[in-house]
Amino acid sequence: MSSGPQTPMTPDGVEHHGDDQLESDDEAQVDTTMLDEDEAGEQRTLQNGKPYAVSDEPTNYSVFSNPLDLGQMRQRLHDLEEPIELPIADFEAYYPFVDNVWRKMRTGEQPETSVRTDYYACRLRKTASQKAHVPRPTPEGKQTRKKRVRDDKTCVDNFQKHSHDLDYIDSTKRNSGIMDTARREATKGFLPASIYWKMWEEPDKMEAAGGKYMKVSDVRNVQYAWRQENQQAILKAHTGFNQARAPRQRPATPPKMPAPPAQPGVFGRLEPGKPEIARPESGPVNVDTVQYPQHARGFLEAYVPDPKAIASRGRPHITLTWASSLDSKITQVVGASTAISGPVTKAMTHYLRSCHDAILIGVTTAMVDNPALNCRLANPTGYGGLPLEYQPRPIIIDPHAKLVIQPEMKVLKAAAEGRGKGPWIVVAPGAMLHPVAVSTLKSHGGEYLMINDYHPQAGGLNWEGLFNVLFREGVKSVMIEGGGIVLSELLKLRYSHMIDSVIMTIAPTFFGKGGVPVSPDPTFDYSGKPIATRLRDVRWQPMGESDVVLCGHMGFDRPANGILPGIEEFSRAAPDASNQQQKGPAPQPQAQPPPQHSPPNHHPSQYQQQQPQQQPSPQQPPPPPSQAPAPHPGHTTPAPSHASPAR
């Protein structure tokens, strides 16, 4: 529960500015300058010119009508360490004195045991204002609509006690019982200062009713409605209230109590820049949390997302990360989950998750591993180190909707418990979505994201288009963790301009040929020579007892002319055309040159395999010299078509 103070509400429904402020010197003197008992019945004039009188009737009675043991019951009803049952009459008698602690909650369901059961929440629980808008996937061409989240359904706090004591809440807001006591005297026509003095004539009952921090302005507020109907009435003072009596010193408002120790299941923001703080002993650490020390984060800073660089590029930061054996396998057996790295590198993975907006995996990994896809980094502020709105968004690539959506999935259970976000599942237009799966996914905060740019015959998903869609939905960084098909596809050279960082954990083990490898398909240059994909800005970091972490950048910028790296180098290293011109004119090719723009589904590697068939036969004799065009001054004869790259 939050301990944010609220403005006291006047029971008569009228708001008076300055009621919580101390009265001025003149006002205080007017309220406390009254007559002695021997002057009862005489009409006097206050210093402000208004008349007043002393009551003719004796006022030696108690203004309180407190229930039995009110002080103990107020403390017990505040703490509520165990369920209690009260008769209806007792509840109606005690509740007005604790309605500044609890507020009744609306509920559409009633327990089967009793129809009189009500639900209450702490009145000082801070109700959030407009929350930050969390983008959700929308169909192409449709504008996203912003909705206000209901506050009563977003609280995931697991505190079993208040974050404040009873004195603090009494100083923040008055209960209805103590205000009704003052109202009964106010409707009799007594001065507010006299009522305030009369109530403090019985300090035990005053404090038991919750009036320890009551002010004269509170009494004036409850008398306002009666005063509007009786403006001509002359106020009177209680017997014994004299002008020599000094004003009562109000107790100081207690300071706001610090927040209680973090409990398991409650989120707090991860702050990597601050030193590590030991978790309080009163808060046990959740068994599934991991800890990653501050000193081990420095070598990763150059490879985590940079907001400034993301804004300048206009696309999300993409990080590929996985754990591998020495023979480049991520699992030992196909279809089975295999633990590869140690606990330290596992904690590093959760730290990397805290630095990204989304986690992306393939459907096979989701079905085999059943991951939670959230950040479970231990932090002094609570489970996960991140509040719900800063948890990474799970994204699952499932073009054919093969993943069976069930509430027992770890990713959905984490979303239901407030320890993660609901997943976005990327599907193709022809996917058959079951209505139960759609409703189950939406009830956990997830969505199906349909991507139209999916062509199985041309290589499958258009990754660049998918990343652009995610960027428009507010995802500025994506951490891709698997599986082998997704990682191998994105490691291809044609996607190098989209991949920013590669973080790979290598374990000292061999899985053999039966495992699932992570290895991209080879890319060839124009002559059929394979082109190797190399990382730059490489750093090796030992991690744990035996693991090694490899970090590097890909980030090859796409050339403006569309030529893949390596092809242009090959064209420069081709046989010198000038030497051929000195020996004789260039032979005319029999086949047509390649088109300037290849079809969308055409890949350079396919063109390389077909190109040798279009080259002229080496036995074909060159044309007569008389048919060769004479070179013009300043003009260079182009290289043969078989040596020129596709433009």
pLDDT digit string, tens, across residues 587-600 = 544 444 444 444 44
Has residue 389 got a pLDDT over 60?
yes
SS3 labels along 526-571 = CCCCEECCCCEEEEEEEECCCEEEEEEECCCCCCCCCCCCCHHHHH
For residues 35 and 243, the answer to whether their CB atoms sit within 8 Å is yes
Residue range 19-52, pLDDT digits in tens:
444 443 434 343 433 344 444 456 666 555 666 6
Residue 507 per-residue DSSP state: -
CB 595 within 8 A of CB 644: no
Per the DSSP assignment, residues forming a β-bridge with 313 are none
Residue 579 to residue 97: CA distance in whole angstroms = 104
Domain boundaries, the chain: 1-109+163-261, 315-553
What is the identity of the amino acid at 291?
A: Q
Instruction: Encode burial over 259-284: b for 16+ CB neighbours within 10 A, e otherwise.
Output: ebebbebbbbebebeeeeeebeeebe
Per-residue model confidence as pLDDT tens digits over 545-572: 889 999 999 855 444 444 555 555 555 5
pLDDT, tens digit, 9 for 90 and up, residues 335-381: 788 888 888 899 999 999 999 999 999 999 999 999 999 998 876 44
Q: Which two tokens stand for residue 297?
A: 């984060």
Radius of gyration, alpha carbons of the chain: 39
Q: Is 212 exposed, middle or buried (0-12, 13-18, 19+ CB in 10 A)?
A: middle
Task: Report how far residue 210's alpha carbon sits from residue 170's, in angstroms, rounded to the nearest whole number.
Answer: 6
Across 421-425, 440-444, 467-471, 586-590, least confident range: 586-590
Q: Which span out of 45-49, 152-156, 572-576 was modeled with the highest average pLDDT?
A: 45-49
**AA identity, residue 228:** Q
CA 369: distance to chain centroid?
24
Question: For a pLDDT cut of 70, what percent of the chain falls above it?
Answer: 60
Helix H or strand E segment including 489: helix 484-490
Q: Which CATH architecture has domain 315-553?
A: 3-Layer(aba) Sandwich (3.40)
Cβ neighbours for 47, distance < 8 A, ≥ 6 positions apart: 26, 29, 30, 33
pLDDT digits (tens, 9 = 90+) for 215-245: 989 999 999 999 999 988 888 888 887 654 5
What pLDDT band is residue 480 in, cutting at 50, 70 and 90? very high
Give 367's contacts (C-beta < 8 A, 6+ positions apart): 402, 403
In this predicted structure, the answer to whether residue 606 has a pLDDT above a threshold of 60 is no
Integer Cα distance of 497 and 517 in angstroms: 23
**Phi–psi pair at 321, nearest 5 degrees:** -145, 135
- Residue with the two structure tokens 């054996």: 325
| pLDDT tens for each residue of 84-119 | 777 888 889 999 999 988 887 765 555 555 555 667
Mean pLDDT of the chain: 73
- Provide the pLDDT for residue 268: 32
Pairing of strands 477-480, 358-362: parallel
Range 156-179 average pLDDT: 79
The two structure tokens encoding residue 36: 């002695």
At what angle are helices 216-229 and 192-199 packed, to 10 degrees?
Answer: 130
Give the side-chain half-sphere CA count within 13 A for 228.
6
Check pLDDT > 50 for residue 160. yes
As a whole-number percent, the residues of the chain with pLDDT over 90 amount to 32
Q: Which of the four pLDDT bands, split at 50, 70 and 90, describes residue 257?
A: low
Q: Are 256 and 3 a contacting pair, CB within 8 Å?
A: yes
Rounded to an integer, what distance in angstroms lies between the CA atom of residue 78 and that of residue 100?
10
User: What is the rounded distance in angstroms from the CA atom of residue 104 to the CA atom of residue 121?
Assistant: 7
